[in-house]
Amino acid sequence: MKILANDGISESGKKKLEDNGFEVDTTKVAQEQLSNYIKENNVNAILVRSATKVRQDLIDSLNGQLKLIGRGGVGMDNIDVEYAQSKGIHVINTPAASSRSVAELVFAHLFGMVRYLFDSNQKMPLEGDSKFKELKKSYEAGIELKGKTLGIIGFGRIGQEVARMAYGLGMKIVAADHSPSTVELSIPFADGQSISTKVETTNIAAVLKEADFLTIHISGAGQTLIGKKEIESMKDGAAIVNTARGGVVNEKDLLEALDSGKLRYAALDVFENEPTPAINVLMSPYTSLSPHIGAATMEAQDRIGEELADQIIELLK
């Protein structure tokens, strides 16, 4: 059985599949050429990340040839899941594999923002030798994360992983999920020990009101959750981190809040117009930016590849 890993797969995942008798093709095929390529090369399963789309028209064009669609990651906005399943196609993803890497990116942005590293990393190479004292003074208003309140919207695997890290830093947590509930959170340590605590999730309005920093972890591309009204309900000088989906935060309203001083800074790993983000977002002096790399760690890619391989072996071998 032949598998097309159109957006790539880790070597460990590829090897596990090949050791179990599958042929893995890692050719990167353009979206408009996918149908012909799959037909001509007798591909039975396709693995994608966020770049490749598997929509109804592609599924229909293959006349039942496709047996499985795999998404390396959590969200499946680029796949017509229900339609594929209605045609008897297995649709799988890897919801747990990238939680740690996304959570660490959240804190990479948080640490960079509170000490203005996103700005100083640009200005030091240009002005560090001539304006050292001025730069030092302009960044002396940094703050610590300890004791601050981290608001988490979406308290699934990633949101909970973010909370574990935040507790380790001495932050307070206020979280919102689909409905209020009590979440038992286990926090493991490197020596094998762990502690447990309980998180009572609440509504989004309460999170917005209390958060010094807001981080968003919901699925659903194009679903605007944070706009002008929500930002106005937040604390003055608060910050927003979006590593979830482009469009979850209204970028126009976000920039206005940053320019007015309502928000102090924001971090974006995802954008409304990927892969061509708006230039005014990219040029804002108040934003910490990364190019959709939430799951882009070597460890996460290995976990994703191996988890996909395990599911494929179970379903198709």
On whether the CB atoms of residues 217 and 152 are closer than 8 A, the answer is yes
d(CA 222, CA 215): 17
What's the pLDDT tens digit per position in 169-205? 999 999 999 888 999 999 999 999 999 999 999 999 9
Determine the Cα–Cα distance for residues 207 and 187; give it in Å rounded to an integer.
22
Q: Are 266 and 118 in contact (CB under 8 A)?
A: no
The per-residue pLDDT for range 105-142, each reduced to its tens digit, is: 999 999 999 999 999 999 999 999 999 999 999 999 99
CA distance 266 to 119: 12
Q: 110 is written with which tokens?
A: 């948080």
Query: Tens-digit pLDDT profile for the chain (317 aa)?
Result: 999 999 999 999 999 999 999 999 999 999 999 999 999 999 999 999 988 999 999 999 999 999 999 999 888 889 999 999 999 999 999 988 999 999 999 999 999 999 999 999 999 999 999 999 999 999 999 999 999 999 999 999 999 999 999 999 999 999 999 888 999 999 999 999 999 999 999 999 999 999 999 999 997 655 899 999 999 999 999 999 999 999 999 999 999 999 999 999 999 999 999 999 999 999 999 999 999 999 999 999 999 999 999 999 999 98
Helices (H) and strands (E) in the chain, counts: 13, 13
Residue 54: phi and psi, rounded to 5, are -120, 90
Q: Which of 293, 182, 301, 289 is closest to 240 using CA atoms?
A: 289
Of 91, 26, 89, 28, which is closest to residue 62 (Cα–Cα)? 89
Q: Is 221 exposed, middle or buried (0-12, 13-18, 19+ CB in 10 A)?
A: middle
In the chain the domains, ranked by start, together with CATH numbers, are 2-94+298-316 (3.40.50.720), 99-289 (3.40.50.720)
What is the token pair recorded at 100?
């740690």
Q: Which residues are catalytic?
A: 245, 274, 292
Closest CA to 26 of 35, 13, 36, 39: 13
What does the block give as tokens for 188?
A: 């493991």
Among candidate residues 218, 203, 14, 208, the one with its CA nearest the CA of residue 102: 218
CA distance 68 to 43: 10
| Residue 79 CA from chain centroid, whole number | 17
Q: What's residue 212's pLDDT?
A: 98
Reported pTM? 0.90
